[in-house]
Structure 1
Amino acid sequence: MSFRILGLTPEQFRPLFAMTDLALKQLGAVRLIADGQRIPCRVSMEHAIPGEEILLLNFEHQPANTPYRAAHAIYVRKGADKTFKVVDTVPELLASRLLSVRAFDGGHMMIEAEVCEGIDAAKMFEQLLANPQTSYLHVHIARRGCYLARVERG
């Protein structure tokens, strides 16, 4: 089964980069400079380049009014100007991590969840999307729980 991985839209984050550090702090966000660690941008699905400006902020990735409504910390690169969208390809950012993959139905209720190595993500996506009740998947970093991406049928 074909799948499509979607990053977040950059437009919702652009105004935050123009804010002062104090204003960001009031929102619970922090401006950082990438230091060479593998910092995953949720817009571009690329690791931040050392020296690049990034924001660490809380993001509501599951806004539906269900028991699974959720928000968690994410990173966004200042230079990320295009939403990541690919079909049947797992980017290195996902492939290089232990993932938690959660399947949701049309009512935004979680119906399945699995953990897999990122190199096995394509098989896991296909397996979970093969369930006709599955509407979409959310992918998280398994160890820290941070949201990474949405996966839909391709």
Structure 2
Amino acid sequence: MSVNFRIKSLPSEEFLPLMQMTDRELSLLDAKWIDVEEEPGYPCRVTLSDAKKGERVLFLPYWHHNVKSPYKAMGTILVREGAESTHFEVNQIPSMLQSRLLSVRAYNTKNIMVNHSVTEGTQLSEEIQKQLGQTDASYLQLHFAGPGCFCCTVERA
């Protein structure tokens, strides 16, 4: 049985107030601007694309799994300066994800992890199908397997 899914990036509106802050204000939130020095390597969680050399990205802590559960989690993310939310089609895999090793974490409706795996981005669609094909998997979170940083959420479409 095939399961339709949609990859969800973070909403740009959530970061607009931060984009207007001074370096001092950002430092009080443990956030800072970083100049992009190489490509790829600075994956934006709003566009789900790599920032280009010469751009700036906001480097900050983020509650990526802010739920009532022992699996509540915060980690670092990057957001491109001026990033606009990207909306993906049903079953579309952003190219940024296809070239990375990813950790796939499946959660049930009570926000408890029910399965996990590590997969090459080229096999991500098949792994999403496998994980969401489980009756108790409600949604997935993708992380970059090496550094362990949150990437995006996958929901049933």
CA RMSD in angstroms comes to 1.0
Q: Distance in 1 between matches of 2:87 and 2:120?
A: 21
**What does the per-residue CA deviation read over 1:29-53, in whole Å, with 9 as the maximum and x for residues that have no partner?**
1111212232100001111011112
- Secondary structure at the aligned position of 1:86 is classed as coil
Are 1:25 and 2:27 matched, yes or no?
A: yes
Is the 1:6–1:86 contact (alpha carbons within 8 Å) kept by the matching residues of 2? no
Q: Distance in 1 between matches of 2:22 and 2:87?
A: 27
- Residue 36 of structure 1 corresponds to 38
Choose from 61, 71, 76 the match for 1:73.
76
TM-score (norm 1): 0.96
- Residue identity over aligned pairs, in percent, reads 38
Q: Secondary structure at the match of 2:89?
A: strand
Segments of 4+ moved more than 6 angstroms: none
Alignment partner, residue 135 of structure 2: 132
Which stretch shifts more, 93-102 or 45-54?
Answer: 45-54
Letter in 2 for 1:115: V
Number of aligned residue pairs: 154
Structure 2: unaligned runs, 5 residues or longer: none
2-structure distance, mates of 1:40, 1:147: 10
Q: Which amino acid aligns with 1:149?
A: C
Under a length normalisation based on structure 2, what TM-score does the superposition of the two structures give?
A: 0.94
Query: Is contact 1:24–1:30 with CA below 8 Å preserved after alignment?
Result: yes
**Post-superposition offset of 1:10:** 0.3
The one of 67, 87, 102 equivalent to 1:64 is 67
User: Secondary structure in 2 aligned to 1:124?
Assistant: helix
CA distance in 2 between counterparts of 1:7 and 1:86 reads 12
